Amino acid sequence: MGSILVSLLPYILGSALVPLQIIILLLLLQSPNRGLLKGIAYVGGMTLTRLLQGAAFGLWLGESVALSAEEEGKGPVVSTLLLVLGLLLLVTAYKKWRKQPDPDEPPPKWLTAIDSTTPLQALGIGLTLPLIAVKLWVFTLSALATIATAQLGSRNGAIAYLLFVLLAQSLLLLPLALRLVRPQQSKASLDRASGWLTAHNRPIVIGVSLVFGLLFLQSGLSGLRSLSG
């Protein structure tokens, strides 16, 4: 299990280091009316969507990988997903550098309305965000394809995917846990974290997208080259 977690680490980090999803949670937790409940509903919605994605696409990717993967290497499915993910991230870095809008991000007015949402609406945001963010889709599919390539069996494969979901949402679970354990003392810390992320969202997205984009692009190209060699 340790080796598969190492293979999943780039997708875990890429999924976790998406500022938008953290900013939404922090804004929900700062809401004066049932903020904690909204935060739990939001994270619960994201978790449910990711679990449904795993159930819906895990078997299909497992069959595709089994049919197409070589005895060694990533196989064409994983290599293609890595190539697509690398290109998407590099395009995101370029657009942020040029200050062009990212299609995965909502307009600023939408963010300002977060604190007026209900817990049910927060649940809907959590359910929807992994479905409309293209990069999160490709991170999840790449993780599923990597697990399928490892041929762990259905039980261990499910455990590996559950660990991926848990670790990919670690930066959401930490502020939620802090708010649960220290509801009063955590307010100032969460306010500072939200302000810092909002102010530095652009350089964070550029840096993360550039580093992981180059990493995934190189990995996908090397995998495809090894298949054609």
Q: Which pLDDT tens digit goes with each residue over 58-78? A: 766 665 555 555 444 556 777
**What is the C-alpha separation between 76 and 65, in angstroms, rounded?**
8
Residues 12 and 144: beta-carbon distance below 8 Å: no
* pLDDT given at position 78: 72
* pLDDT given at position 149: 79
Indicate the DSSP class of residue 100.
P
**What is the C-alpha separation between 156 and 139, in angstroms, rounded?**
20
Instruction: Tell me the C-alpha to C-alpha distance, in Å, between residue 150 and each of 11, 147, 155.
Output: 15, 5, 13
Q: And the tokens for 78?
A: 């994983």
**What is the C-alpha separation between 96 and 201, in angstroms, rounded?**
10
Domain encompassing residue 115: 2-228
Number of domains in the chain: 1
Confidence of residue 159 (pLDDT cuts 50, 70, 90): very high
Report pTM. Answer: 0.79
* pLDDT given at position 134: 79
Q: Is the pLDDT of residue 183 over 80?
A: no
